[in-house]
């Protein structure tokens, strides 16, 4: 109930704050458009094909929340996405993104599933104040917000990605950023500098809390807030941010003999800090989060609320060779905590080093080669005393259209 009251108070505050510009411009007539709205819709997308079996030393080493083809099969379509978007009114923008290569379970591939379906309602002509309504990314973590089309490492880090599988949920977000900063957010993506996109200087909102394409399970929404600001200085661009969320998560997947609290509602609270030095030409990206959430305890065969912690650091170098781009990179990431979305809120300890290079010979094609050295402990009621260690060379070909 406290979470609901807090959510309602926050929503009411934001609505009152924004009401003045919305009301004052309510009588403004929309400017005549040279084209009808249906001719202003853009269509784009990308496809990723991977092969993870080269130099593989342990096929029991897996990554369920990331790439399910670890230790399984051969060639694998990781993503096949088409994005429909556009401004259907000077104050209304929509974005729909299905994925035609979803893998709901190991061995079951290429199912269609909705990723994004939202619209932005701008409260002013400059579009500095806006509400985002629908299924969209939750503003927690720079790498979580970064599109897989732009990210250098092939999978997101376990530490922050364990907060929201598929990075999305259904809810209402409020974003604010000055017009100049919004243009900078856009250029960081368009110029190939691996930006996260425009999620505002300040963002906050409420959402179901059970992740994308799932119903609310406890009538208690999660609350999230994020503050992130990019700063230009002597040709370099630095972005620092903080973010946090709070809620109750309902465990949906558990073994028959696992012990759990009666109502399956577990505290789900996190806070994180982010730092990005964009690659001009040398880049650094680092994040760390702490919190409390559900985690399997092998000593008691039960799901308990426990502390969690972890983060990552990625270094990269941007090389432009005439019309080609080469970006060598390396990442270390660490996580100690549970993964609430997996069976029994599976307990993890992850230590992983990745060294790779991204090659873009043309704008429409990218090739990534990445060598992974991984040590993972992942335990639930069935998989106990399960610690896997191994190396593998991973390849990805990406088509952009």
Is 142 among the domain residues?
yes
Is 27 among the domain residues?
no
Is 28 among the domain residues?
no
Contact 138, 169 (CB under 8 A): yes
Is 289 among the domain residues?
yes
Contact 298, 347 (CB under 8 A): yes
Rounded to the nearest integer, the mean pLDDT of the chain is 91
Is 92 among the domain residues?
yes
Does pTM surpass 0.85?
yes
- Which structural domain range is residue 227 located in? 2-22+40-400
pLDDT at 71: 85
The backbone torsions φ and ψ at residue 264, rounded to the nearest 5 degrees and listed phi first, read 65, 15
pLDDT confidence of 396, banded at 50, 70, 90? very high
Residue 248 CB contacts under 8 Å (≥ 6 apart), including other chains: 3, 209, 218, 220, 265, 266, 267, 268
Selected residue with higher pLDDT from 94 and 22: 94
Span 19-38, pLDDT tens digits: 444 444 444 455 555 678 77
Q: Tell me how far CA of residue 337 lies from CA of 98, 135, 270, 291, 348, in angstroms.
A: 31, 27, 12, 9, 5
Is 88 among the domain residues?
yes
Number of domains in the chain: 1
CATH number of the domain to which 253 belongs = 2.40.160.10
Is 304 among the domain residues?
yes
Is 374 among the domain residues?
yes
* CA–CA gap between residue 233 and residue 359 (Å, rounded): 28
């Amino acid at each position: 109930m406290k979470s609901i009251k807090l959510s309602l108070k926050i929503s009411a505050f934001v609505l009152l704050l924004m009401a003045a510009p919305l009301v004052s411009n309510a009588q403004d007539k929309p400017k005549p458009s040279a084209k009808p709205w249906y001719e202003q819709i853009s269509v784009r997308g990308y496809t990723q094909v991977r092969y993870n079996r080269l130099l593989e030393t342990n096929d029991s080493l897996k990554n369920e929340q990331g790439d399910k083809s670890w230790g399984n099969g051969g060639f694998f379509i990781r993503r096949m996405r088409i994005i429909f978007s556009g401004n259907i009114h000077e104050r209304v923008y929509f974005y729909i993104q299905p994925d035609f290569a979803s893998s709901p379970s190991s061995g079951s591939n290429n199912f269609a599933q909705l990723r994004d379906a939202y619209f932005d309602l701008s409260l002013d002509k400059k579009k500095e104040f806006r509400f985002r309504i629908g299924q969209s990314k939750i503003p927690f973590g720079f790498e979580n917000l970064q599109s897989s089309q732009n990210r250098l490492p092939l999978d997101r880090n376990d530490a922050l990605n364990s907060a929201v599988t598929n990075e999305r949920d259904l809810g209402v977000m409020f974003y604010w950023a000055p017009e100049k900063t919004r243009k900078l957010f856009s250029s960081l993506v368009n110029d190939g500098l691996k930006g996260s996109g425009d999620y505002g200087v300040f963002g906050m909102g409420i959402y179901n809390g059970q992740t994308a394409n799932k119903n609310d399970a406890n009538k208690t929404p999660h609350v999230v807030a994020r503050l992130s600001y990019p700063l230009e200085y002597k040709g370099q661009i630095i972005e620092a941010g903080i973010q946090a969320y709070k809620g109750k998560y309902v465990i949906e997947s558990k073994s028959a003999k696992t012990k759990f609290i009666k109502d399956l509602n577990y505290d789900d609270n996190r806070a994180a800090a982010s730092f990005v030095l964009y690659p001009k030409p040398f880049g650094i990206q680092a994040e760390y989060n702490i919190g409390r959430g559900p985690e399997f305890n092998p000593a008691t065969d039960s799901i308990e609320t426990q502390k969690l912690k972890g983060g990552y650091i990625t270094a990269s170098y941007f090389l432009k060779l005439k019309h080609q781009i080469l970006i060598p990179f390396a990442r270390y990431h660490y996580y100690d905590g549970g993964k609430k979305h997996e069976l029994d809120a599976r307990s993890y300890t992850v230590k992983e080093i990745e060294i790779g290079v991204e090659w873009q010979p043309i704008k429409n094609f990218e090739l990534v080669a990445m060598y992974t050295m991984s040590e993972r402990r992942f335990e639930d009621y069935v998989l106990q005393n399960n610690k896997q260690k191994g190396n593998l060379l991973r390849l990805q070909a990406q088509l952009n259209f």
